[in-house]
Amino acid sequence: MTRLARSMLTLAAGVTAGLAYAGYAAAADKELLIGDQCDRTGATQIVGTVLCPAMQDYYKLVNSKGGIDGWMIKGDEIDNGYKVPEAIEAYERQKQMGALMMTLYGTPQTVALNARLEQDKIPTTSPGFGISAAADGNRFPYLFPIAATYWSQGAGAVQFAKDQLGGALKGKKIAYVYYDNPAGKEPMPILEALQKQEGFELRTFAVPPPGVELGAQIIDITQRYHPDFIIAHLFGRSPSVLIKGLKGAGFPLKKVVGLVWASAEADILAAGGWATAEGYNTLQFAGAGDNYPVRGEIKAMYKKDGKDPPKEMDDTVVYNRGLLQAAVQVEALTNALKLSGGQKPTTEQVKQGMEQIHDFTLGGLVPPLHITATDHEGGGFVKVFGVHGGKFVQETDWIHPFRDVVLNAVKTAE
């Protein structure tokens, strides 16, 4: 019985402590709260473990420089483990804490929370995933993809294939290898529209999750279909399996482009290293590589504290995306503070601040974003980087091709 009583006591103590913690929601003076959801555990932790520290590093950098006009930024981060109920709980908690804006993580979570965003009027970013139609600011007033949606990514990939295949796609064969879930299928309407417009042949190859065994698809693609170009839209472990498999089958990797979640350093390393992946092309919505002033500033910030830069900085793709996300948030808050005249802005002002982001490039890391009240995607820019000699080398400039096709899809989306 005593054992039982003790365990009950432990539980009660835990609950009390929790309630006590949740009770203290008093925000400090001159503090702007951003609510971030993250996936440091769960299905896509390969992204979350780098992306979220990057966002925190950026907030730290801004605060170390005195914040925004003296306003400090607090990024409250909650791990949702890629689960929907936990995302709801995290959202409700950050709402109660008074978050001025949020960043979600995960397509199902974004889909599930969208109705609440509109109800509570909290501007929220969903970079690089989620609902492509959310680029339409009229229909999704509080959701900001801020980076190229899957539709823009699909268009960018087709343009890159076109350039690589000599400027015309007529009669060429393109294979689209995708993760068989809603996110994987999302670019399809664009690819199909472009197929008609450009006159290429398109065949799709579904990869059932988790996609760690692609032998059949690779044989199907390389031995039977013989495509001129491959567009890969895979997640998690599967991009590396595809790279390795195509390499093994002797398919030239320079005729392959991976959409944004198949494009990180971790994928290259898991595929067997830079030498194996030589030539593989990656689509990015934030600049890859180390040559951006902001990365130098963060390193300097750590150095000033007598610390080495965090190991997450070795990653230049996902880490830079985290910087982009945080930088766009901070830029929106800066604009909002101008609107509010130095007072603490309202969420509505933050939304307007977001819609004023214009020519904000962060030294080339961010594309020439132009977010407006109607275009929450900010132009839908992507850049292709190829794997060459152990690093990502820029292949194109910031492009947003076939914009009319993408915008038409946004407009006619149900």
Partner 1 sequence: MFHRESGVFKTSYASDMALYPLPVARWAVVVLAVVFIVVVPLTWSGYFVSIVNLCLIAIVGALGLNILVGYTGQISIGAGAFMSVGAYTAANLVTHLSVPFYIALPAGGLMAALIGTIVGIPSLRIKGIYLAIATLAAQLIIEWTINHVQWISGGVQASIPVPRPSIFGIKLVSERQIYCFLMFFVVLALVATLNLVRSRIGRAFIAIRDQDIAAEIIGINIFKYKLYAFAISSFFAGVTGVLESYYLGIANYEQFQIDVSIDYLAMVIIGGLGSVLGSVFGAIFVTLLPIVSRWFLEGFGGVLFPNADLLNVIPNLRLVIFGGLIIFFLVVEPEGLNRLWRNIRNYFRVWPFSY
Report yes or no: 382 and 148 within 8 Å, Cβ to Cβ: yes
Q: Is 186 in the site for partner 1 (CB under 8 A)?
A: yes
55/366 with CB nearer partner 1: 55
CA angle 220, 226, 227 (to 5 degrees): 105
Q: Which of residues 188-207 bind partner 1 (CB under 8 A)?
A: 188-189
The beta-carbon contacts of 405-410 under 8 Å, at least 24 apart in sequence, are 405/155, 405/190, 405/193, 405/194, 405/197, 406/135, 406/151, 406/152, 406/155, 406/190, 406/380, 408/193, 409/132, 409/133, 409/151, 409/189, 409/190, 409/193, 410/132, 410/133, 410/135, 410/136, 410/151
Report yes or no: 184 and 230 within 8 Å, Cβ to Cβ: no
DSSP for 223-255, please give it: III--SEEEEE--TTHHHHHHHHHHHTT--GGG
Q: Is 18 in the site for partner 1 (CB under 8 A)?
A: yes
Q: Is 216 in the site for partner 1 (CB under 8 A)?
A: no
Shortest Å, Cβ 346 to partner 1: 18
Q: Is 96 in the site for partner 1 (CB under 8 A)?
A: yes
When binding is defined by CB under 8 A, the residue of 74, 173, 185, 254 that contacts partner 1 is: 185
Compute the distance between CA of residue 325 and CA of residue 340 in angstroms, rounded to an integer: 23
- For 130, the enclosing helix (H) or strand (E) is none
Shortest Å, Cβ 107 to partner 1: 7
- Phi and psi at 249, nearest 5°, equal -85, 0
When binding is defined by CB under 8 A, the residue of 63, 64, 164, 181 that contacts partner 1 is: 181
When binding is defined by CB under 8 A, the residue of 29, 115, 224, 341 that contacts partner 1 is: 115
Stretch that binds partner 1, among 174-182, 286-294, 317-325, 327-335 (CB under 8 A): 174-182
When binding is defined by CB under 8 A, the residue of 33, 102, 131, 357 that contacts partner 1 is: 131
When binding is defined by CB under 8 A, the residue of 37, 51, 54, 81 that contacts partner 1 is: 81
Q: Please, what's the b/e burial string for 345-384 (b: 16 or more CB within 10 A of its CB; e: otherwise)? A: bebebbbbbbbbbeebebebbbbebebeeebbbbbbbbbb
- For 397, the enclosing helix (H) or strand (E) is none
Site string for partner 1, 38-77 (x = CB under 8 A): x-xx-------x--xx--x--------------------x
Report yes or no: 126 and 110 within 8 Å, Cβ to Cβ: yes
86/290 with CB nearer partner 1: 86
Shortest Å, Cβ 351 to partner 1: 20
52/328 with CB nearer partner 1: 52
| SS3 label, residue 72 | strand
Are β-strands 173-179 and 31-38 bridged in parallel, bridged antiparallel, or unpaired? unpaired
Tokens 């988790």 — which residue? 210
Report yes or no: 134 and 126 within 8 Å, Cβ to Cβ: yes
Shortest Å, Cβ 50 to partner 1: 11
158/369 with CB nearer partner 1: 158
Q: Is 9 in the site for partner 1 (CB under 8 A)?
A: no
52/101 with CB nearer partner 1: 52
Site string for partner 1, 378-407 (x = CB under 8 A): ------------------------------
Q: How big is the site for partner 1, counted in residues (CB under 8 A)?
A: 52
Shortest Å, Cβ 239 to partner 1: 20
127/367 with CB nearer partner 1: 127
What amino acid is encoded at 396 in this protein? T
Tokens 């823009």 — which residue? 152
Are β-strands 383-388 and 391-394 bridged in parallel, bridged antiparallel, or unpaired? antiparallel
15/168 with CB nearer partner 1: 15
Shortest Å, Cβ 171 to partner 1: 27
Interacting residue ranges for partner 1, rule: CB under 8 A? 1, 3-4, 7-8, 14-15, 17-22, 38, 40-41, 49, 52-53, 56, 77-79, 81, 83-86, 88-89, 92-93, 95-96, 107-108, 111-116, 119, 131, 180-182, 185-186, 188-189, 414
